Structure 1
């Protein structure tokens, strides 16, 4: 039995309208928005009040109708009608900057409130590649809406917060700090996007908002919430386009490529990484750190596809790009792209190619750098790659030792990727049956997984 929509009822009561009047206004707004197929009458409104969820774009139309009447922003979320539209809208790479702002703002609010429909959202393969095409092709001609001017000081304050949250992610994992970042974005950053800006301030603000929206997506990704992550990344890409920063857009595409490959869609991962490289090729000087990342992730995807020669070429290209990095001229969001990270990605590439010697060599390089930086998450994942290479060489004792180090490091962070790395090792140890070392590893792993 449906639960009556008390929120919508309260808003309607405040207007003093009848059900028929609300239906008339919805129909008029639908025609204005060029949705002549949308039908609404008093019976439709009665069903919505009784708890029926109208299909898109009706929730957005209702929000606009109430917003116009009250002279303040009213969202579908406020009307109790967002359970479908927040998740669906956030998968759309909209040509409208205003729509993008509302999509990402509603997404952030739902994330802060930990709405069940959002935490249960899934990764949509069909939505993975389209935004990269749109990012490459679209041009921008939106003008800001009237309102209070946003100043460079506002943008600087936003950018200063980025480093704090990025460090939190790098050293503590995506499960730590994300809700604090989501609340900060919802309360302080996304509202700024609705206000007026000079063109240069507008671009800088969109760049800062894109960086932090990407970080929200990355944190959700690292915490295993892939539907939420995908939606943040798509909206981050659109904000990057608005900022006219191709390097930042390419960086977002790298994250999207990483996610697609991880979730078993390496062909989409390859396309996304290539789209990022194509975007970088249009600017000078390009971000060599970002280019190195894109090549590394293309190599990961190619390895999953079984293309050994192309994957090996991608690793070489990644190393070459990184050799040209000038850290002083790289953006702050690229700071994590370093030997600890890249060598770890290359280790996984060669692991998937069954090249044990290369996998072990790159894993050891990554482990050494991660240890010197006290980066537990990266160290754990690279220790897991090393353990996998030992298992492929049938050296169970060495694999167990690396596996235990993986567990010890994983306990220091809140990261579903570390948990998945542990589970992957458990699966790889299955052929060894009930060997005491396997039993010991599984027992230690159960403690971590229970936590």
Structure 2
């Protein structure tokens, strides 16, 4: 015997829809989903209310129907229909803009309200192949749901918040303010995507939403939540396409490339960086181009391709020499000498070219210190420590390692913790040396807390 679905009944009552009207809207939404065979009637809705669980993807379509009606995200969980397919849906690069809006909004709600559900979400190797291809093909369709028109002033207010959240990430680490940003997006940004817009406003809004959705993904990445990060990045790429801003899309692919390489798939990381360069075009954002070359170099170093990796570093430096900060977009502010020298240091570290790695690491450290960027400083100090180890200079590695610990304690970043753990592993060949024991003792609390 089934139990009546009181949650669904409550939402239907608040909406004022009859069973027949609800069925009609589900049929209409099903066409948007590419599911024309879903043809419910009033009797089907009554059965759902009586407790019959509809087959997929009807629960997700119902959630979209109620979300469109109320103007904010209603999930399958809210409707008493279980967790739904939030994680899988957010990996898809939807040709439908409407489906994109619902997918990213659903992800945002789940991220804030049901953290335990998403915590187990895995990173899906190879999942970026389709999105990067579709972004390059640049296929667009669909219009947002009707509603109050969005003004440029609304978009300006959204964009003004981006710099503050990016600054929070750069100075405090991705684990510091990500849920605050997610809540802001859920309450103030994603609802705007459902409303009507003039063409220029729509592009500007999608650009602003893509920037901040990318930042959500990047902050999750920095906090070690790779499954969530991947899904935000895929949806950010789709919004970037809608904004008709190729540099922003290439920037998202750079983030995806960085993640793929970090998680042990440098071949995919290289391919994603190349896709970003192909879509970027000439004379567009030299800063983004420098980043893409730097990330390709990182991937090539992991693959053991020494000569191409070194050549990619040169390309990155050449691209950055053309940067005019006043002509770059706000999201590119972090692509600077502190960042690029840090990336190059890790490239040459992985190529076992200790002297060159140490030179780049020191330049990154100097710039990061001036900007009070503890996370970048910590990661570059770790790279400097490794360069000392590669030259069998344990004392120099110990001193750089201690500076890594000091800076890592100032931010909430899993990447800094991973850099400390990597340094511990690289010290193991030195056995029970007192400096190794001292470093491990000092690192114990930091690593244990993570």
TM-score of the superposition, structure 1-length normalised? 0.90
Residue number in structure 1 paired with 2:342: 344
Residue number in structure 1 paired with 2:444: 446
| 3-state SS of 2:231 partner | helix
The CA deviation string for residues 31-90 of structure 1, in whole angstroms up to 9 with x for no partner, is 78553676989799679948x7x6641222332565688898743242144624111111
Distance 1:102 1:29, change over 3 A: closer
Distance 1:199 1:394, change over 3 A: same
CA distance in 2, matches of 1:316, 1:434: 40
Contact (CA 8 Å) 2:8, 2:49: kept in 1 or not?
A: no
Is 1:258 equivalent to 2:258 in the alignment?
A: yes
CA distance in 1, matches of 2:142, 2:274: 28
The CA deviation string for residues 101-139 of structure 1, in whole angstroms up to 9 with x for no partner, is 111111111112243121221111131222111000023
Contact (CA 8 Å) 1:5, 1:49: kept in 2 or not?
A: yes
More displaced, 27-36 or 83-92? 27-36
Contact (CA 8 Å) 2:298, 2:344: kept in 1 or not?
A: yes
Residue number in structure 2 paired with 1:295: 293
Distance 1:44 1:387, change over 3 A: farther
Aligned partner of 1:356 among 351, 354, 373: 354
Is 1:414 equivalent to 2:441 in the alignment?
A: no
Residue number in structure 1 paired with 2:403: 405
Distance 1:103 1:398, change over 3 A: same
Contact (CA 8 Å) 1:258, 1:269: kept in 2 or not?
A: yes
CA distance in 1, matches of 2:149, 2:304: 53
CA distance in 2, matches of 1:112, 1:231: 14
Distance 1:398 1:76, change over 3 A: same
CA distance in 1, matches of 2:64, 2:217: 28
TM-score of the superposition, structure 2-length normalised? 0.91
| 3-state SS of 1:335 partner | helix
Contact (CA 8 Å) 2:357, 2:383: kept in 1 or not?
A: yes
Residue number in structure 1 paired with 2:140: 140
Residue number in structure 2 paired with 1:155: 155
Distance 1:415 1:4, change over 3 A: farther
CA distance in 2, matches of 1:128, 1:223: 20
More displaced, 30-39 or 427-436? 30-39
Shift of 1:6: 5.5
CA distance in 1, matches of 2:332, 2:418: 25
Alignment of 1:205-354 (within 5 A): 205-281=205-281, 285-354=283-352
Shift of 1:428: 0.8
Residue number in structure 2 paired with 1:383: 381
CA distance in 2, matches of 1:39, 1:433: 69
Distance 1:444 1:9, change over 3 A: farther
Residue number in structure 1 paired with 2:173: 173
Contact (CA 8 Å) 2:71, 2:191: kept in 1 or not?
A: no
Distance 1:6 1:224, change over 3 A: farther
**Consecutive unaligned residues in structure 1, runs of 5 or more:** none
Contact (CA 8 Å) 1:123, 1:230: kept in 2 or not?
A: yes
Distance 1:271 1:80, change over 3 A: farther
Distance 1:154 1:429, change over 3 A: same
Distance 1:71 1:416, change over 3 A: closer
CA distance in 2, matches of 1:261, 1:304: 8
RMSD, matched Cα: 3.0
Q: Tell me the matched-pair count.
A: 446
